[in-house]
Every structure is written in C-alpha cells, then in structure tokens.
Amino acid sequence: MKAVRGVLDYLKSGGVEYIFGIPAGSVNAFFNELYDMPELIPVVTKHEGAAGYMACAYAKYKQELGVCISCSGPGATNMVTGAANAMREHLPVLFLTGAVPVRTMGLNASQELDAHPVFEPVTKYSVTVTRAEDLLTEVAKATDIALSGVPGPVHVAMPIDVQLGDIEEMKLPEFPAGRMPVVPQAETIAQVAKELSMREKGIVFAGQGIRHVSEQVIQVAELLGWPIVTSPQAKGFIRSDHPLAAGVFGFAGHENVSSLIHRSGEEEGLLVLGSSLGETATNNWNPNLTEGRFTIQMDFDETVFNRKYNVNIPVLGDLDLSLLFLINELKALGLERKETACVNNEFNLYGTDEYTTRNVMLALQEKVPSTTRYTIDIGEFMAYVIHDMGVKEPATFDINVHFGAMGSGIGSAIGSALAEPDRPVVNITGDGCFFMHGMEVLTAKEYKLPILFVVMNNARLGMVYHGHTLQYKRSHKAFEQIPVDISAMAKAMGVPGIRIRTMEELVNADLQKLMTGNGPSIVEIDLVDNAVPPMGDRVKFLSSFGK
C-alpha cells in the first residue's frame, strides 16, 4: 500500500474526523486517498493560516488531536502562524506539510522549502521524513508527543515521493489514549492548604488553564472568601454574577481589580491558577501583583514557575487534581463556605441608546442565546468585550489576546462550530481582520455552519489609531482607508448580510433568524467610535509615553 494510506488509517483509528487545509501538488497523494475514506472529512479552507486557527480551535473544544495540512513552500510558511498559536495555547495539533521529492532537494525545485527547521521553534517536534517506510512511524511519534506531557503542536514534512512509496502492510501503531495526568505531591498540597488557611485576605488569580475546572476554582474561592480575578484570556470561565467574581486584570481590565491588586499586606495571599503570568495578564508584569503577598502557583507546566515573579510554593500538577486535593485539605482544616458580599462593582450589563462600540457589544449579547461562544479577533472592539461584556454561561469567550493574530477569531469560529455543532457561535471581528481572513466565511458557507460574523467596520486600523493617538498625539492617514461595504461583499458571496448604522437598527435586527439558517451570515456594524477603548492601565502607559 502507499505510505500515505497508512498515515490516514492511523489518524482514522484515533477518531480524527476533520483535516483542515488546502490541496496542492505536494499533498495530492494524501487527498487522493480521502476519496475512499469518507470518515475523514477534508475542510478545504481559503488560506492555510486560517486552517491552522481552525485546527487549534477544534483541538481546544473537542479536546482531541487537531490535524492541518498544506503544500510545501508557501503553504507551509502560511501555516506557521497557526503552529505558533497552538504552541502558545498548549494545543495538540498535527501540522503536515508536503515537500518536494527527496531526489530534488537542494536543486531549487518548485515550492521547495526545508520546512522542518522553520517549524522547530514553534512546535514540540518537527521532522522531515525521507523514507516511505518511516512515514507512519514518524507521524505516530509526533502524535504521541503532541498529546503527551504539556500538549502542543508537532510538524511532519512529507516529500511527495515518500507519500507515494509502496510499503508492506503493517500493524497500525496504537493511537495514544491521551496524556497521563500530572499528580501533585500530597505534602505540597497540605502545605498550601495550611498557608492559605492562615490568611484572611487574598486573591485567586485565574488564567486560561482553568478552562475545565471553573467550578472547582469557585469552590476554593468560596472556602477562602477571596475574590476571583481573571486574566483577559480567562474571561468566560467565571460567571459575572458570582459574588466573588471581581473582574479582569491585565489588558482592558477593571479599575476596581487594579485597586485590589495594588492593595497589599504581609498577611495577604495570592493563589495563581493556570496562568503563566504573561504580559497581557499582568499589565506588563506589574510588580504589585505579588508584592507583599505569599504567592502560590498551580500549573501542569513547570516552566511557568518563577519566570518573572518569585513564587513561594509552586505546585506542579493537573489543575483538576490539585484543586480537588486542595478542597479536601481546606475542609479537613475546618474551612467552610463563606457568605461574601459582591466584590464586583464595575460590570454593567446595560447600555444606553448611544451608538457606541460598548453599547453595540451589550446589545448584541442581549439578542443572542446565553450559551453563545464568542470568538474575538484583535481590534479596539476586543477591549470592550473584555471590559464590558458579562459572562452569562461558562466557556463563552475565546479571546486570542495572548498570541494576538489578526483574523484568528474567524478561523476559530469555524473550528468551534465543527467541534461543538449544537453550540451557537458568534465571531466578533473588525474590518482589518476581515480583510485578512474574511474569505473563510465561504468555508463556513460550504460546510453549512450557522456562524454569525459581526464585523466592526470603522474603515481604519482601530487599535493602531488609538495607540498612536495616545502615544504620539497623532495618527498617520495611512492607517485609514476608503470605506468598504462589507454587507455588499456578503451578498456577492451569497451569504445573508445586513448593514447596521444606528442603535435602533441593531435593536430591531432579527439576529436569531440569521443564526438559525443553513449557513453563515454577516452583520456589518458601520461605526466610527473615537472614544478611547477601555484598555485599562495600558492607556495610562501610552498616554505617559515619553514623559
């Protein structure tokens, strides 16, 4: 059989359902085999970068291996950003790239690129296979690496002649069942419980690593009576109406949370859960976060400990186990759930009639189901999402502020819709992001995905405009553009679309109908909002630049 058939049989054995990417000469053998394998569905995208974002979101929400494929050369380089994104989010994605025949390597063959060193810095493992009999073994090895330890992306380059090479029938390697849990040390958990119980005041700081353990996070906070602060990436995991939900710290965070962080005392504690304490989560590594606080950090990735902040007790272990054991230890020490007054004094889930970005976000949230997942792109609207939109149900926001790839939210919406078909999905994007990856709306159309794409159209690069205006007191005219009617583009693509110019039009729009069709729809918000976005302490930094 062909070597590439063994790879596809292996992926099929592991329950892989979708393969995201674009067919081309150096991967034609791979796609040819799919004719006879209806269980494996190729999701043919419009750009390899978007395919990477789709595979990332699929891996995140399906909690399985994502698979992405591209041709050699430019297809591979287009896909690198998706790999970097997967690395940043600890997502197990297998990136497959075609390659020129082995005998032509180094001869300037068409679309030749030695891709494996290109992918090395942004993957856990990257290799070029030069023998057909090694292809299946290397894919199986890469898959195991992707799913084990701290999950992450891997890359295998497959020369076309290697794919087409004839090999003997062989027994498929066993598909990995998943990573082995990292069990925290009981003595460390006991020490943590003792230290926490001694402190009346403290903060629970939650990062995106709490995705599947939000209820346990709440239990710990209730036992301690401590407020829960989330990073921007973790918005969506703790309901806004919980009395201990203080809000967001970091980019676009809340003023009351900054005040909470700046309050310090020798008897205070800080319990960091599932956060690497990066720049956007800590307001440019604000030293006040740990100043005067006994700091405990729990994570399954030991490389996050003591990076920028000194940690008194690092706890290495899967969060579900660490928190389960911690809850038991705290209860054994006599702690009981405390009745606590609401610590959140900044969220306001009601807008006004003024046509502003903030009010558009709040009105949008009132018009779509509470279970809707919002995939958020990079733009000034993102600050309003983080700062002003409430969390009504768990796991409702996908905010890519950590890696910050423009247009990634568009692909993420498609990956989310395929991973959880029954969950409504709204992508909030901007005209700048849409012009990068907006043609993926056609991918959503071709696969009949009822995603609502909300495009904030202000005919400029909004974040750049506000950043330069704050920092340099001026903005280059090149940051703006001639307005484009995106709803007309939707019509040309055969996608239902409406253009909103007033709050009244938005309030009267039937978004539910748009979300329940047999494919995607576009809502264009034609709005230029010159108000400074609520970027939190970043506004103070930019405003004081050079002083």
Over pLDDT 90: what percentage of the chain?
A: 76
State residue 404's pLDDT score: 78
Q: Quick one: pLDDT band at residue 205, thresholds 50, 70, 90? A: very high
- Contact 435/48 with Cβ under 8 angstroms? no
State percent of the chain over pLDDT 70.
Answer: 93
Predicted local distance difference test score (pLDDT) of residue 111: 84
Question: What residues contact 474, with CB distance under 8 A and at least 6 apart?
Answer: 468
Please list, in sequence order, all residues whose beta carbon lies within 8 angstroms of the beta carbon of residue 100, skipping any fewer than 6 positions away. 26, 72, 109, 110, 111, 112, 159, 160
Chain position carrying tokens 């309050």: 263
Best-predicted range by mean pLDDT (255-259, 319-323, 364-368, 534-538): 319-323
| Per-residue confidence band for 465, with pLDDT thresholds at 50, 70 and 90 | low
User: How much is the pLDDT for 478?
Assistant: 73
CA proximity to 4, closest of 84, 81, 69: 69
Higher pLDDT, 489 or 458: 489
Per 3-state DSSP, what percentage of the chain is helix, strand, and coil (rounded to 5)?
40, 15, 40
Q: What is the mean pLDDT of residues 424-442?
A: 95
At 506-524, the pLDDT tens digits run 999 999 999 988 999 999 9
Residue 502, phi-psi category: left (phi > 0), alpha (psi -120 to 50), beta (remainder): beta
Banded model confidence at residue 415, pLDDT cuts 50, 70, 90: very high
Give the number of other CB atoms < 10 A from CB of residue 187: 8
pLDDT higher than 60, residue 414: yes
What would the pLDDT profile of 361-394 be if each residue is shown by its tens digit? 999 999 999 999 999 999 889 999 999 999 999 8
**pLDDT computed for residue 43 by the predictor:** 98
Which residue stretches of 225-317 are H helix?
Answer: 255-262
Return the CATH architecture of domain 357-543: 3-Layer(aba) Sandwich (3.40)
User: 475 falls in which pLDDT band (50, 70, 90)?
Assistant: confident
**What mean pLDDT is predicted for residues 433-439?**
93
The residue with greater pLDDT, 125 or 351, is 125
**Alpha helices, H only, 368-430:** 380-388, 408-419
Q: Mean pLDDT across the stretch 132-149?
A: 97
Alpha helices in 183-310 (DSSP H): 186-197, 214-224, 255-262
Pairing of strands 202-206, 228-230: parallel
DSSP secondary structure code for residue 104 in this structure: G
Secondary structure class of 314 (helix, strand, coil): strand
328 contact partners, CB below 8 Å, separation of at least 6 = none
- From 89-93, 165-169, 425-429, the region with the lowest mean pLDDT: 165-169
Pairing, β 245-248 against β 228-230: parallel
Q: What are phi and psi of 298, to 5 degrees?
A: -110, 130
* pLDDT for res 538: 60
Report in angstroms the alpha-carbon separations of 462 from 197, 211, 335, 486.
Answer: 46, 30, 48, 17
pLDDT for the residue numbered 14: 96
Is residue 543 predicted with pLDDT exceeding 70? no
- Sequential DSSP letters for 295-307: EEEEES-GGGTTS
* Residues 6 or more apart in contact with residue 514 via CB below 8 angstroms: 452, 496, 498, 521, 523
Classify burial at 111, counting beta carbons within 10 Å of its beta carbon; exposed 0-12, middle 13-18, buried 19 or more.
Answer: middle
> 93: closest CA among 415, 451, 433?
415
Return residue ranges of the chain for CATH 3.40.50.970. 3-164, 357-543
Measured between alpha carbons, how far is residue 350 from residues 24, 391, 469, 502 in Å?
Answer: 50, 13, 29, 17
- Amino acid 476: pLDDT: 77
H-state helical runs in 91-166: 115-119, 132-147, 160-164
Please spell the DSSP secondary structure of 508-547, one letter per residue.
H--HHHHHTSSS-EEEEEE----SPP--THHHHHHHTTT-
Average pLDDT over residues 276-290: 91
Judge whether residue 546 has pLDDT over 70.
Answer: no
pLDDT of residue 343 exceeding 80: no
Q: Which CATH superfamily hosts domain 186-332?
A: TPP-binding domain (3.40.50.1220)
- Residue-wise pLDDT tens digits, 81-118: 999 999 999 999 999 999 988 888 778 777 878 999 99
Mean pLDDT over each residue of the chain, to the nearest integer: 91
Q: Are 51 and 96 in contact (CB under 8 A)?
A: no
Per the structure block, which two tokens stand in for 7? 């790879």
- Residue 510 makes CB contacts below 8 A (sequence gap 6+) with none
pLDDT 10s digits, 5-53: 999 999 999 999 999 999 999 999 999 999 999 999 999 999 999 999 9
The whole-number average pLDDT for the span 127-139 is 97
With 90 as the cut, is the pLDDT of residue 413 above it?
Answer: yes
The total of other beta-carbon atoms located within 10 Å of residue 451's CB is 26
pLDDT of 471 reads 75
Q: Name the least confident of 177-181, 260-264, 441-445, 519-523.
A: 260-264
Q: How far apart are CA 198 and CA 540, in angstroms?
A: 36
Strand order in the sheet with 268-273: 245-248, 228-230, 202-206, 268-273, 293-299, 313-316
Domain 3-164 fold:
Rossmann fold (3.40.50)
- Mean pLDDT along residues 419-425: 96
Instruction: Report pLDDT for 169.
Output: 85
3-state secondary structure 34-69: HHHCCCCEEEECCCHHHHHHHHHHHHHHHCCCEEEE
Neighbours of 77 (CB within 10 A): 17
CA dihedral of 342, 256, 409, 533, whole degrees rounded to 10: 140
pLDDT band at 283 (very low <50, low <70, confident <90, very high): confident
pLDDT band at 532 (very low <50, low <70, confident <90, very high): confident
Interacting residues of 11 by C-beta distance below 8 A, sequence separation 6+: 19, 40, 67, 139
The answer to whether the CB of 204 falls within 8 A of the CB of 221 is: yes
Contact call for residues 22 and 70 (beta carbons, < 8 A): yes
Q: Span 311-326, mean pLDDT?
A: 98
Sign of CA dihedral 50, 52, 54, 60: negative
**30: number of Cβ within 10 Å:** 25
